[in-house]
């Protein structure tokens, strides 16, 4: 099999409203060809041009979420699902003072162009992406019509008879990158024809680019540096899926990386992996709460309502009890200073728990930090057989979220800042 990659030269400057298929009427197109079109000219033809002194406002408008930010560089996820620099907003190859946005729907754009071509060809709309852990840029497909986007070899065997378990080739991306070899960034050639792959050209539009976009729940690197802290959400409904104990232990590693006073290690994490121990602890805590609430004069109806709040712990498949230890703390003659010393250790414990919760989220686990154990510490120590110096600081419910968490309430950081 041989492949030809042919530049389409002599195209005029594309303007809003231009018919790209008509502009290609003079090209040597044949049945079975694949036409690769740079997204810039599609954006220009569709009027996706904005007057802007810089790209900042346009990037914000096109961004679904910020994945990472360093200085002026922003890696964002667009509403199309692409994770790319500057949400695909481009200030190159356009008039000064303007920027280009990605097409509204690149698959739909590719479908329209393909339908108007005089031959049975496929169409790929390409754009330039950076790649994690690699220097340099390459073109990938952001819109596909009439082309098989992926080749799935899973379930087959290699030449040595080894089963293929993870081999899925991004055909549309490979074709887009190959076409860029003759288009180039500075040559002014926005279209190329890839010939020799008729077996990849479909009779209909096909699935488009969607199969190339990895769903968030399958992405091991879903969270960029901007996302990590916000990945932690309080989850109160868990599925029946089991929790990987290794993931919890990795979260503990993150927890004990928190800052602490006097170079101490004030954190201990009690992992309740036995269902019998979890039930025994929760039953004893419930009885202790009921006794306390009755002693405080609460009605039975109010007590029942408050006890039900502990259901998040009872329904979780895994529990963790973070504990504070004061080893390495200083003792002073002044009780005020002793109280401050303890507060320092409490703050450090909270930092450790927050690290722990964030890493659970990165591991794909939901959590809820409930302060319940702090109201019955002697009971918790007895049931879990903890040293008297271990101070339970709540209980963390861990599991896989049964449903997506609700959106966060909007908060403006300026409301929480005081400048002097």
Identify whether the C-beta of residue 36 lies closer than 8 Å to the C-beta of residue 225.
no
- Going by C-beta distance under 8 Å and a sequence separation of 6 or more, which residues neighbour residue 387? 381
- What whole-number distance in Å separates Cα of residue 396 and Cα of residue 243? 13
- Residue 161's pLDDT is 78
CA distances from 374 to 235, 316, 395 (A): 20, 19, 9
Q: Beta 122-131 vs 34-38: how paired, if at all?
A: parallel
- Going by C-beta distance under 8 Å and a sequence separation of 6 or more, which residues neighbour residue 58? 50, 52, 87, 89, 99, 101
- Going by C-beta distance under 8 Å and a sequence separation of 6 or more, which residues neighbour residue 88? 39, 62, 78, 82, 101, 102, 127, 142
| Homologous superfamily, domain 4-218 | CofE-like (3.30.1330.100)
pLDDT per residue rounded down to tens, the chain (420 residues): 799 999 999 999 999 999 999 999 989 999 999 999 999 999 999 999 998 877 888 999 999 888 888 888 889 899 899 999 999 999 887 888 899 999 999 999 999 999 999 999 999 999 999 888 899 999 999 999 999 999 887 777 777 778 776 678 999 999 999 999 999 776 789 999 999 999 999 999 999 999 999 887 777 777 777 788 988 999 999 999 999 999 999 999 999 999 999 999 999 999 999 999 999 999 999 999 899 889 989 999 988 888 887 789 999 999 999 999 999 999 998 899 999 999 999 999 999 999 999 999 999 999 999 988 888 899 999 999 999 999 999 999 999 999 988 888 889 999 999 999
Handedness of CA 268, 271, 277, 280 (dihedral sign): positive
Longest Cα–Cα distance of the chain, Å, equals 92
- Residue 114's pLDDT is 97
pTM score of the predicted model: 0.74
- Residue 166's pLDDT is 67
- Going by C-beta distance under 8 Å and a sequence separation of 6 or more, which residues neighbour residue 323? 267, 268, 269, 270, 386, 390, 391, 392, 393
- Going by C-beta distance under 8 Å and a sequence separation of 6 or more, which residues neighbour residue 144? 107, 110, 122, 123, 124, 125, 172, 206, 207, 208, 209, 212
Give the pLDDT confidence of 157-200 residue by residue, as tens digits: 777 778 776 678 999 999 999 999 999 776 789 999 999 999 99
- What whole-number distance in Å separates Cα of residue 16 and Cα of residue 410? 38
- What whole-number distance in Å separates Cα of residue 133 and Cα of residue 55? 25
Four-way CATH pick for 228-416: 3.10.20.30, 3.40.109.10, 1.20.81.30, 2.70.160.11: 3.40.109.10
- Going by C-beta distance under 8 Å and a sequence separation of 6 or more, which residues neighbour residue 60? none
CA distances from 51 to 15, 40, 76, 102, 267 (A): 15, 15, 21, 15, 54
- What whole-number distance in Å separates Cα of residue 122 and Cα of residue 37? 11
Cα torsion for 24, 26, 32, 38, to the nearest 10°? Answer: -30
> Hey, where are the domains in the chain?
4-218, 228-416
Give the pLDDT confidence of 13-39 residue by residue, as tens digits: 999 999 999 999 989 999 999 999 999
Helix 377-384, helix 275-295: angle, nearest 10: 160
- Burial letters 183-206, b for 16+ CB under 10 A, else e: beeeeebbbbbbbebeebbbeebb
Give the pLDDT confidence of 111-142 residue by residue, as tens digits: 999 999 999 999 999 999 988 889 999 999 99
Identify whether the C-beta of residue 7 lies closer than 8 Å to the C-beta of residue 18.
no
- What whole-number distance in Å separates Cα of residue 342 and Cα of residue 12? 74
Q: Which two tokens stand for residue 121?
A: 């060809």
Q: Beta 151-152 vs 168-169: how paired, if at all?
A: antiparallel
- Residue 133's pLDDT is 86
CA distances from 221 to 339, 351, 362 (A): 42, 24, 9
């Amino acid at each position: 099999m041989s492949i030809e990659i042919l530049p389409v030269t002599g195209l005029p400057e594309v303007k809003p409203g231009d018919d790209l298929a008509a502009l290609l009427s003079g090209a040597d197109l044949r049945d079975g060809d694949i036409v690769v079109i740079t997204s810039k000219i599609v954006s220009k033809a569709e009027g996706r041009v904005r007057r802007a002194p810089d790209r900042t406002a346009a990037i914000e408008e096109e961004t679904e979420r910020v994945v990472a930010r360093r200085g002026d560089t922003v890696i964002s996820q667009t509403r199309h699902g692409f994770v790319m620099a500057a949400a695909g907003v481009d200030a190159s190859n356009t008039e000064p003072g303007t920027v280009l946005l990605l097409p509204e729907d690149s698959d739909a754009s590719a479908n329209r162009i393909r339908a108007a071509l005089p031959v049975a060809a496929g169409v790929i709309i390409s754009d330039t992406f950076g790649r994690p852990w690699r220097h340099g840029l390459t073109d990938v497909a952001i819109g596909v019509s009439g082309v098989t986007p992926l080749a799935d070899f899973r379930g087959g065997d290699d030449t040595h008879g080894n089963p293929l378990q993870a081999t899925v080739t991004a055909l549309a991306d490979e074709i887009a990158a190959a076409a860029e070899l003759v288009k180039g960034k500075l040559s002014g050639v926005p279209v190329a024809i890839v010939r020799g792959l008729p077996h990849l050209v479909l009779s209909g539009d096909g699935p488009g680019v969607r199969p190339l976009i990895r769903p968030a729940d399958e992405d091991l690197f879903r969270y960029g540096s901007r996302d990590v802290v916000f990945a932690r959400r309080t989850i109160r409904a868990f599925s029946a899926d089991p929790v990987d104990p290794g993931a919890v232990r990795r979260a503990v590693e993150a927890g004990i990386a928190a800052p602490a006073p006097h170079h101490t290690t004030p954190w201990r994490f009690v992992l309740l992996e036995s269902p019998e121990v979890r039930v025994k602890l929760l039953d004893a805590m419930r009885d202790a709460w009921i006794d306390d609430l009755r002693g405080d004069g609460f009605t039975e109806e109010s007590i029942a309502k408050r006890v039900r709040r502990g259901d998040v712990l009872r329904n979780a498949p895994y529990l963790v009890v973070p504990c504070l230890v004061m080893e390495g703390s200083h003792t002073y003659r002044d009780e005020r200073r002793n109280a401050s010393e303890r507060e320092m250790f409490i703050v450090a414990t909270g930092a450790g728990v927050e690290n722990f919760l964030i890493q659970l989220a990165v591991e794909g686990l939901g959590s809820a930090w409930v302060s319940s154990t702090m109201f019955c510490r002697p009971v918790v120590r007895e049931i879990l057989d903890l040293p008297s110096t271990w101070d339970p600081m709540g209980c963390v419910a861990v599991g896989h979220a049964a449903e997506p968490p609700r959106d966060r309430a909007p908060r403006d950081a300026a409301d929480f800042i005081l400048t002097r």
